[in-house]
């Protein structure tokens, strides 16, 4: 028994105390670590599992990686996923302890390294001597300055109702590297990391599917929103599932979200509501033409049935605006009848005068009357020729063939003079005035086509000024280009037709005066094409109803290469 009364050597007591102090510090450290672990595991179970956006996934993973690092005492934690498109395992951000730059360089062939091995076999691995371990990829080890590490598979497990695993799939791996305090990783670390990796795999795969789905949905919705066609989808109980912006515009309602509302509460247009209801009731696909009185447009509505495993889920109706198509069809029909009329009129007149002259065997008509008849026949032939050449040109433009340009030096004073002289024969009510200066600069152009341009514009000026008046052709030298202004004192052009008159078949038809004048609606269309073929243009410079109009033509002094194909 030690003698208690004997005083102990003070230095040994100090040593003993020092030892106890170390043990207590170590124990305190362990307790803190245990507390941390405990906290971590509780926090892990509280971790939000519904990740809905990429930043949220990033945040959740970042928290998870921090906790993993703490639990297994690793300095770096990296998740790598197999990317089928790249055929490699690549780092999924965020990573812990490595830079983005380093992460971008870490991509591994599934046939190589510890990463590949764990990915292929689904078995975890420890590599405590990273540099000398034959399984490791030395460049990656050097890049990440790895001493040691553990790698576990990221496996998604599909379970049945009794929680039995029915399917397993490895989607990647997780590395935890460089154990802190210069220690080595052990089997406990592997076990812990495997547990955490399971959670990470579930988060990643669920979130990825969810994010992809929501992004796909958003893309689809955006596409539907920007579609020109109106789309309305209703489910079997008549509730709106989708009503895009074009549909809202067609219905004249604001572009809000109507999802979940009853169709009848939102859509007051009977034709649209009937189309959807009938299609729903009869379970058939229907096509109808719907006219909207509000904006004078015509839509073609078509429904299609959406079924899932044979059961009707929804009706989708698509509405295409066919106003322009119908209008062109109408115009074409009108055009055909006008053209046949326009062709028949001069022919009837020619035939009439020729028959009269043939029948006049007794020479009842004097020379002057005969000359007058010949003159009329000649004019009518000109009219026919002009019309036929207009038609040929239109058909040439429509078929996309380039106009054949015959360039030469053109004297616009003389050219305008010829047009006015020819046109003056047809009218006594109008005074045709050539204001193009005699010394106006020559331009390089196709003379016949420029003739046709001025001829058409003067022809219109005469035709649409039934009361007569002055018609002038003025010219201006603009430097590299010239401008011709053809002015009449006629009917003028109503505001709403001004930018349409250059479209083929377009004719002003809202006043009796315009309506009474026969036309084909192709003259200005041709004029625009002919000027553009020179690299120039034509436009309505001014117009006032009942006062007259001025059409302006701009042509380059030297004809330019230009798009001459059909418009």
Query: Given the rule CB under 6 A, which residues bind ligand ADP?
Result: 460-461, 464, 488, 490-491, 493, 501, 506-508, 514, 519-525, 549
- Helices in 47-112 by DSSP H: which ranges? 54-72, 100-105
The least distance separating ligand ADP from the CB of residue 410, rounded to whole angstroms, comes to: 22
Cis peptide upstream of residue 75 (ω within 30 degrees of 0): no
The least distance separating ligand ADP from the CB of residue 517, rounded to whole angstroms, comes to: 7
By beta-carbon proximity to ligand ADP, the closer residue of 95 and 520 is 520
∠ CA 547-548-550, rounded to 5°: 145
Report CA-CA distances (Å) from 442 to 388, 409, 435, 564: 30, 6, 15, 23
Q: Closest residue (Cβ) to ligand ADP?
A: 519
By beta-carbon proximity to ligand ADP, the closer residue of 423 and 520 is 520
Direct distance between the N- and C-terminal alpha carbons of the chain, in angstroms, rounded to an integer: 118
The least distance separating ligand ADP from the CB of residue 539, rounded to whole angstroms, comes to: 12
The least distance separating ligand ADP from the CB of residue 347, rounded to whole angstroms, comes to: 18
The least distance separating ligand ADP from the CB of residue 461, rounded to whole angstroms, comes to: 5
**Do residues 156 and 127 touch, judged by C-beta distance below 8 A?**
no
By beta-carbon proximity to ligand ADP, the closer residue of 185 and 551 is 551
By beta-carbon proximity to ligand ADP, the closer residue of 136 and 520 is 520
User: Residue 266 CB: number of other CB atoms within 10 A?
Assistant: 18
Cα–Cα dist 454/441, whole Å: 17
Compute φ and ψ for 310, nearest 5 degrees: 85, -15
The least distance separating ligand ADP from the CB of residue 338, rounded to whole angstroms, comes to: 8
By beta-carbon proximity to ligand ADP, the closer residue of 67 and 430 is 430
Token readout for 245 is: 């912006």
Please count the CA atoms within 13 angstroms of the CA of 54 that sit on its side-chain side. Answer: 6
Question: Residue holding tokens 């770096």?
Answer: 76
The least distance separating ligand ADP from the CB of residue 542, rounded to whole angstroms, comes to: 11
The least distance separating ligand ADP from the CB of residue 463, rounded to whole angstroms, comes to: 6
By beta-carbon proximity to ligand ADP, the closer residue of 204 and 493 is 493
By beta-carbon proximity to ligand ADP, the closer residue of 314 and 454 is 454
Secondary structure (3-state) at 322: coil
By beta-carbon proximity to ligand ADP, the closer residue of 247 and 493 is 493
By beta-carbon proximity to ligand ADP, the closer residue of 324 and 509 is 509
How would you write 117-185 as a 3-class SS string? Answer: HHHHHCCCEEECCCCCCCCCCHHHHHHCCCCCEEEEEEEEEEECCCCCEEEEEEEEEEEEEEEHHHCCC
Secondary structure (3-state) at 306: strand
Token readout for 474 is: 């003025």
- Helices in 360-446 by DSSP H: which ranges? 367-398, 412-424
């Amino acid at each position: 028994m030690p003698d208690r009364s004997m005083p102990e050597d003070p230095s040994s007591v100090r040593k003993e105390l020092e030892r106890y102090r170390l043990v207590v510090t170590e124990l305190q450290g362990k307790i803190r670590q245990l507390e941390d672990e405990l906290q971590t595991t509780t926090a892990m179970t509280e971790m939000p599992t519904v990740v809905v956006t990429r930043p949220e996934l990033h945040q959740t993973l970042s928290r998870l990686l921090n906790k993993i690092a703490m639990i297994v005492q690793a300095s770096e934690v990296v998740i790598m996923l197999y990317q089928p498109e790249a055929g490699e395992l690549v780092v999924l951000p965020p990573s812990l302890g490595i830079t983005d730059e380093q992460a971008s360089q870490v991509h591994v062939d599934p046939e190589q390294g510890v990463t590949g091995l764990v990915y292929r076999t689904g078995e975890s691995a420890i590599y405590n001597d990273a540099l000398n371990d034959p399984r490791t990829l030395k460049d990656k080890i050097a890049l990440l300055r790895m001493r040691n590490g553990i790698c576990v598979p990221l496996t998604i497990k599909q379970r049945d109702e009794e929680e039995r695993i029915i399917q397993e799939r490895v989607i990647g791996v997780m590395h935890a590297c460089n154990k802190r305090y210069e220690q080595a990783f052990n089997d406990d670390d592997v076990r812990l990391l495997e547990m955490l990796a399971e959670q990470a795999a579930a988060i990643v795969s669920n979130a990825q599917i969810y994010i992809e789905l929501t992004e796909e949905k958003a893309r689809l919705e955006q596409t539907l929103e920007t579609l020109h066609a109106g789309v309305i989808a209703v489910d079997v109980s008549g509730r709106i599932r989708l009503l895009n912006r074009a549909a809202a515009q067609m219905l004249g309602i604001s572009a809000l979200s109507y999802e979940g509302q009853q169709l009848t509460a939102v859509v007051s247009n009977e034709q649209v509501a009937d189309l959807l209801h009938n299609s729903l009731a009869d379970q058939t696909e229907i096509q109808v033409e719907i006219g909207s009185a509000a904006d004078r447009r015509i839509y073609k509505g078509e429904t299609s049935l959406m079924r899932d495993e044979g059961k009707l889920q929804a009706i989708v109706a698509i509405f295409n605006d066919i106003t322009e198509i119908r209008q062109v069809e109408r115009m074409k029909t009108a055009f055909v009848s006008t053209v046949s009329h326009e062709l028949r009129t001069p022919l009837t007149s020619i035939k009439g005068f020729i028959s009269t002259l043939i029948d006049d065997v007794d020479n009842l008509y004097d020379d002057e009357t005969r000359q007058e008849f010949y003159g009329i026949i000649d004019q009518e032939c000109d009219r026919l020729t002009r019309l036929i050449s207009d038609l040929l040109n239109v058909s040439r433009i429509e078929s996309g063939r380039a106009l054949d340009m015959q360039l030469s030096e053109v004297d616009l004073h003389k050219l305008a003079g010829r047009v006015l002289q020819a046109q003056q024969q047809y009218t006594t009510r109008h005074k045709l005035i050539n204001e193009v200066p005699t010394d106006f600069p020559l331009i390089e152009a196709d003379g016949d086509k420029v003739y046709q341009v001025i001829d058409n514009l003067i022809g219109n000026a005469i035709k649409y000024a039934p009361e007569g008046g002055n018609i002038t052709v003025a010219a201006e030298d603009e430097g590299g280009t010239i401008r011709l202004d053809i002015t009449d004192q006629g009917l003028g052009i109503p505001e709403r037709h001004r930018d349409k008159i250059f479209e083929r078949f377009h004719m002003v038809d809202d006043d009796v005066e315009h309506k009474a004048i026969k036309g084909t609606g192709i003259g200005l269309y041709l004029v625009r094409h002919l000027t553009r073929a020179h690299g120039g243009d034509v436009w309505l410079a001014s117009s006032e109803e009942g006062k007259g109009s001025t059409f302006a033509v701009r042509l380059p002094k030297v004809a330019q290469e230009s798009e001459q194909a059909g418009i």
